[in-house]
Each structure stands twice: as structure tokens, then as C-alpha cells.
Amino acid sequence: MPKSHRAGEKSESAEAASITAVSKEDLLAALAEHKNSLLADLNTSLNRIDGKLDCLQQSVDSHDSRLTSLEDNAESVDGRLEKLEACYLKVLTENEKLCTKVTDLEGRSRRSNVRLVGLPESIEGVQPTNFFAQLLQEVFGGDLFPSLPELDRAHRSLAPKPKPGDRPRPVMVCFHRFQQKELIIHEARVRKTLVYQGHTFRLYEDYPSEVVTQRKVYKAVMSSLYELGLKPALLYPAKLRITQTNGTRKLFTSVDEAERYVEEVNKSV
């Protein structure tokens, strides 16, 4: 082989080796640069993540603090509610007792009163006490009242005066003597319907509204007892007494008890 050709091959080999050596250095440098770039990006991302984690941790700490505060407040409210419920029950019990006492006192203050229902408005004139004393004597007769019954007062109910043609207001009559009041109540129950100068009216006990409500619930069961031939009597304030056919008496303090008794009697008939 000629020398010139060999020299050319050596020159090409050296040039290729030089290119190869340069390429490796560049590659290593590029890899190192890429590595550094990745590390920088990774550090930047980690720093961002750390920042977000710090924010999350602060938010969690804040929520934890608020939850702790809410739990403390809830426990405090529970304690206050327990005290409030206990106080409410106490007040409710005392209020029921007071209402019962007030109703009892009102009933006692009305023990000598009767109600006259159905008499026309203004029939009594300007002296209602004297008028109704004479009315009672006339209606019930001289045998029951040889002299005028003693009345402390007599007046219409305090409702507004009705228009012509409307239902007249009831009359409240207070007897001076309780015995006279009991006598006239008994006679009115016997007669049932009373008449004065062509006007039909009725006479009732003057009970507080609460007592009237309590007594009304016995109406149906009393009708059933009358149909069975028994003798029911409604005692004050709202107790039902039954006189049985053999003469014995039973006392019921609630409508349910009386209704169960009626059912038992119907089954035995």
C-alpha cells in the first residue's frame, strides 16, 4: 500500500477519534447540565409543595383550633340547656300548681253565684239586684222564698251589649246566703225549664271557664249512664259519681274510667 494512502487513513482515524472525544465531553456536559436543570426544577417544585403543605398545615391547625372551640362551646351549651330544662320543668310544675290554685280560688269566690241565661236585655231596668230578687221569688214561689232572697249583687256579664235580635248576655246573681243558692239550684234542676213573663230561661252554677271545660267532657258518658238506668252526678270540680242499682256509689276522676265502666256494664247486660 502506498505511504500516502496510509498517511491519509491515519489522519482520518485521528480526526474521527478527535470528534468522538469531543462528542463524549459535550454529551457529559449536556447530561450534567440537564441533571442540574432537573434538580433545579425538582427543588423548585419541592419548594412549591412545601409552601402548599405549610398552608395546608396552617389551615388544618386553624380548623383544629376552631373544632376544639366548637366542642368547648357545645359542652358549655349542653350544660346550660340541662340547667334551663331543669328550670323550665320546675317553672312548669309551679305554674300548674298556681293555675290550679287560681282556679280553685276563683271557684270558691263564685260559690254563691248563679247564672241566668235567656232573659232579654235591659229587662232588669236600673236596679238589677232588686229586680232579680223579685224575679226569683215570683218564679220559684212563696213556698221556696217566703220573703225576697238576699242578693249581694246582680248584673249582666261584662261582654259588650248585643245588638237587637242577638243573643242576650247571661245574668250573674250573687246570693248573700249560700244555702239559698243551693236551694234554688236544686229546684232549677228539678224544673229544668223556667219561665218569667213568657220568657223561657235557665239557671246554672257559675263555674270558672276551666272548670266548665273539664265538666263538658263528661256529657256523652253521662247520657250513656242515664240510658242504662243509673244515676250519675257531676261533683265539683269535675268528678263523676254514679249511684248503681243496688244503691252503692262509684267515683270516677276521669272520663276514660267512666267510659270503661259503661263498656263493662253494657257487656254484662
In DSSP terms, 232 is beta-bridged to: 242
The CA distance from 269 to 264, in Å, is 9
| CB-CB contact of 261 with 251 (8 Å) | no
pLDDT at 3 over 80: no
In this structure, of 9-18, 23-32, 116-125, 245-254, the range with the lowest mean pLDDT score is: 9-18
Cell of 178: 249560700
Q: What is the pTM of this model?
A: 0.67
Give the pLDDT mean for 88-94.
Answer: 96
**From the centroid of its chain, how far is CA 189?**
39
The CA distance from 133 to 154, in Å, is 9
| CB-CB contact of 202 with 184 (8 Å) | no
Could you report the per-residue pLDDT of 226-254, keeping only the tens digit for each?
998 888 999 998 999 998 888 889 999 99
Mean pLDDT, the chain, integer:
88
pLDDT at 2 over 60: no
Could you report the per-residue pLDDT of 130-182, keeping only the tens digit for each?
999 999 999 999 889 999 999 999 999 999 999 999 999 999 999 999 999 99
The CA distance from 175 to 135, in Å, is 14
